[in-house]
Amino acid sequence: MLVVVQLVSFLMMRLI
């Protein structure tokens, strides 16, 4: 679960 959240956060940061 934590890994997924970290991945999503990383992707979001990259997009922004």
Residue positions counted in the chain? 16
Query: What are the helix and strand counts (H, E) for the chain?
Result: 1, 0
pLDDT of residue 4: 98
pTM of the model: 0.19
**What pLDDT is stored for residue 1 in this prediction?**
82
Tell me what pLDDT residue 8 has.
97
Q: Which residue do the tokens 């922004």 mark?
A: 16
Q: Write out pLDDT tens, residues 1-16.
A: 899 999 999 999 998 7
